[in-house]
């Protein structure tokens, strides 16, 4: 039995699956051995953005001996109606976006499938398309809700009157481009049918959800679809639900009677699995002469597809950050002939806080007030819109302690004051927030021989360390060493878990694991199961957030406009940190992704073709090792007993929230140039130096 001093939670324990990954023994979706008759599939994608597919012709001379099947809407099996229209592959002749799956070649070898797919003749009746987001689009509308279930618009007070009567105002528009998830492991599925049951080795963030979705399409209950997701090489939201690759692999395996493997190529990830919507955000702030906000107005224009409405919650974070008597937030959406946006790390908060935190920096300049002091003066005592008390909120402490750690107080507030050789140097700050969530989950624990225990839950480890953290949580709840706990996850046949998303995994699964382990220990039984649903239903949802502050130092080359981030620092208040080693990795990963958002990442649209022209990692730029000079993360020792049994808040996403704004604000401080259209490329800076 462990003592309090020996508790596992809070210790920097190495990843329990680390040795398997280093040895290559950890299997991913496209690596499972399923027999010598394995077939391979390749997707033929639409070359147009809108139209009708009338016929598919196969060249009989190409790979005739190797091709097993060519599927398209003219011969594919009929599926049940899908809640997500993008899963209804080959069920219609309609083409809704460029890159949509139109046909699938199944062959004995991957090479044969790829060559045959390239030679397919797709007879298409092309139609005019619309792919450009703009604020004057005639089809703009207000959605009923934004992801996942927030009201689209909120309002209180009289914003227009406050703006008209304020001595100081800011009215700015920020634009963020389309951004794409591109996890190291592409979306992949290996499918096989065992009699009338379906087995999927699939890379996803929610095995039970995928089992239910795919089962529904094929007329199967979820318990007859076995989804195995033992290891995942990243997801960032794009694998949060079933994607077309899983449907196509299952369909091909059904038709051919063989196991089928489908791994999407990198370029297909830019069209078939979701992306972050571009945004056009207008932020208006009104303040007194001493820096107290009297009005906040945040209006967002974004896009979705013709197939499926996905409205990103871009302005929602503004509802929680600062006090102001008069407030308004809203979202407007237009559905274009483009792929459907989906979840991408910190959906809503990441782009929304760019506009808000840069606008706050611009207001601080107009007021001639330190940007940290401006934020402190507008710290709310309760939720600004609902009036709900915060369970805990240490945002000001993050700002104060982060500033001390970063060396903020010697900063000259005037722009373009510090130069070393060819480099202008500046610093910037921005706030961060992310909601604390827990979702119902169930866990089971069994007593094994030799004083060991098996803990099971259908959770997913995306590479974040979930398997390790759950092992630590279980060990403490059982009061045994970590070495006596065997954790089983990544399998839809295990007790149902919530999705690995929304920074909710550890809280949701840990709650269930804690309950099951305590029940077994206290009862003395050989097995115990715990469902957290009722306890989570009783929780107040509002007023629970993680907070943080980001600080950035940049150098901007006076001759070329090149931007280098010389220092990036984050200070967080994110509840109890369950494992400092994995937590630091998550914070840094988010901050680096935020750097990419600020300086590198941009999906470039060709309006004439309705497609992204830089749909690979050769031209879609992301940060690399050489871009990361000094990056550090620290956190407060925050105790919050209103959250869950562990007191954790979730850390996977808050690292990206605010870090782009801190970098943009630092660029202004270095150069006097405001970049309001991300990313901050040198061509947007150099002409103004």
Residues with a catalytic annotation lie at: 653
Collapsing DSSP states into helix, strand and coil, what is residue 222?
helix
Helical axes 659-671 vs 349-367, angle rounded to 10°: 30
Helical axes 244-256 vs 207-217, angle rounded to 10°: 50
Structure tokens at 118: 């390239």
Pairing of strands 563-573, 631-635: parallel
DSSP designation for 575: B
CA distance 466 to 461: 5
CA distance 132 to 607: 7
Residues 6+ apart with CB under 8 A from 443: 455, 456, 457, 495, 497, 509, 512, 513, 515, 516, 517, 529, 530
Residue among 313, 317, 316 nearest 304 (CA) = 313
Structure tokens at 362: 């611009």
Structure tokens at 507: 């809280």
Structure tokens at 497: 């878990």
Residue 397 burial class via C-beta count within 10 angstroms: exposed 0-12, middle 13-18, buried 19 and up = middle
Q: Residue 619's Cα: distance from chain center in Å?
A: 21
Residue with tokens 């529904």: 216
Residue among 673, 659, 670, 583 nearest 628 (CA) = 659
Structure tokens at 489: 């996850």
Structure tokens at 341: 């946006």
CA distance 274 to 207: 18
| Residue 575 and residue 643 in contact, taking contact as beta carbons nearer than 8 Å | yes
CA distance 486 to 452: 8
Q: What is the DSSP code string of 393-454?
A: --HHHHHHHHHHHHTGGG---SSS--EETTEEEEEEEEEEEEE------EEEEEE-SSS-EE
| Residue 429 and residue 665 in contact, taking contact as beta carbons nearer than 8 Å | yes
Structure tokens at 60: 């009989």
CA distance 416 to 667: 9
Structure tokens at 285: 């702030």
CA distance 643 to 391: 8
CA atoms within 13 A on the CB side of 587: 26
């Amino acid at each position: 039995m462990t003592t309090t001093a020996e508790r596992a939670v809070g210790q920097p324990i190495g990843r329990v699956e680390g040795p398997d990954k280093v040895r290559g023994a950890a299997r991913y979706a496209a690596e499972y051995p399923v027999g010598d008759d394995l077939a391979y599939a390749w997707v033929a994608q639409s070359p147009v953005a809108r139209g009708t597919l009338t016929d598919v012709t196969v060249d009989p001379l190409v790979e005739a001996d190797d091709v097993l099947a060519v599927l398209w809407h003219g011969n594919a099996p009929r599926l049940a109606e899908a809640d997500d229209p993008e899963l209804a592959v080959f069920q219609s002749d309609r083409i809704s976006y460029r890159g949509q799956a139109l046909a699938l070649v199944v062959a004995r070898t991957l090479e044969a499938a790829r060559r045959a797919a390239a030679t397919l003749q797709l007879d298409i009746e092309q139609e005019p398309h619309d792919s450009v987001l703009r604020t004057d689009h005639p089809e703009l509308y207000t959605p009923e809700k934004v992801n996942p279930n927030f009201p689209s618009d909120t309002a209180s007070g009289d914003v227009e009157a406050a703006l008209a009567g304020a001595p100081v105002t800011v009215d700015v528009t920020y634009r963020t481009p389309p951004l794409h998830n591109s996890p190291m492991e592409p979306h992949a599925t290996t499918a096989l049918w065992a009699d009338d049951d379906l087995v999927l080795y699939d890379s996803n963030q929610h095995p039970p959800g995928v089992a239910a979705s795919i089962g529904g399409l094929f007329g199967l209950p979820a318990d007859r679809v076995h989804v195995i997701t033992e290891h995942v090489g990243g997801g960032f939201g794009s694998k949060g639900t079933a994607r077309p690759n899983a449907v196509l692999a299952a369909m091909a395996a059904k038709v051919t009677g063989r196991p089928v493997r489908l791994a999407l190529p990198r370029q297909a990830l830019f069209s078939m699995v979701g992306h972050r919507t571009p945004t056009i955000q207008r932020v208006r702030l009104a303040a007194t002469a001493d820096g107290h906000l009297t009005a906040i107005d945040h209006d967002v224009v974004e896009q979705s597809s013709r197939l499926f409405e996905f409205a990103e919650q871009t302005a929602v974070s503004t509802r929680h950050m600062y006090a102001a008597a008069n407030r308004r937030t809203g979202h407007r959406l237009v559905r274009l002939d483009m792929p459907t946006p989906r979840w991408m790390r910190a959906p809503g908060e990441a782009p929304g806080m760019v506009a808000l935190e840069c606008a706050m920096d611009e207001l601080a300049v107009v007021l001639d007030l330190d940007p940290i002091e401006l934020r402190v003066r507008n710290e709310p005592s309760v939720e600004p819109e609902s009036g709900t008390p915060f369970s805990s909120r240490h945002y000001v402490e993050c700002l104060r302690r982060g500033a001390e750690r970063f060396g903020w107080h010697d900063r000259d507030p005037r722009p373009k004051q510090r130069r070393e050789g060819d480099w202008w140097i500046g610093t910037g700050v921005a706030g961060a927030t992310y909601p604390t969530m827990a979702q119902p989950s169930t866990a089971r624990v069994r007593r094994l021989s030799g004083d060991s225990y098996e803990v099971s839950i259908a959770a997913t480890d995306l590479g974040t360390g979930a398997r390790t953290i759950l092992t630590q949580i279980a060990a403490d709840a059982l009061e045994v060493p970590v070495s006596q706990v065997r954790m089983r996850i990544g399998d839809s046949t295990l007790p149902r878990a919530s999705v690995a998303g929304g920074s909710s995994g550890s809280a949701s699964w840990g709650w269930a694991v804690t309950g099951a382990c305590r029940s077994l220990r206290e009862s003395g039984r050989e097995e115990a199961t715990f469902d957290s649903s009722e306890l989570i239903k009783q929780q107040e949802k509002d007023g629970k957030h993680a907070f943080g502050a980001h600080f950035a130092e940049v150098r901007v080359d006076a001759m070329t406009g090149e931007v280098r981030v010389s220092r990036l620092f984050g200070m967080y208040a994110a509840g109890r940190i369950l494992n400092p080693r994995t937590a630091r990795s998550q914070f840094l990963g988010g901050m680096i992704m935020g750097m990419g958002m600020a300086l590198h990442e941009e999906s470039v649209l060709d309006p004439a073709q309705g497609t992204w022209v830089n749909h690979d990692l050769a031209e879609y730029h992301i940060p690399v090792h050489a871009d990361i000079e000094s990056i550090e993360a620290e956190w407060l020792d925050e105790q919050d007993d209103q959250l869950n049994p562990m007191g954790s808040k979730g850390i996977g996403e808050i690292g990206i929230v605010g870090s782009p704004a801190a970098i943009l604000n630092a660029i202004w401080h270095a150069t006097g140039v405001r970049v309001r259209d991300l990313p901050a490329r040198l061509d947007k800076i150099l002409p103004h130096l």
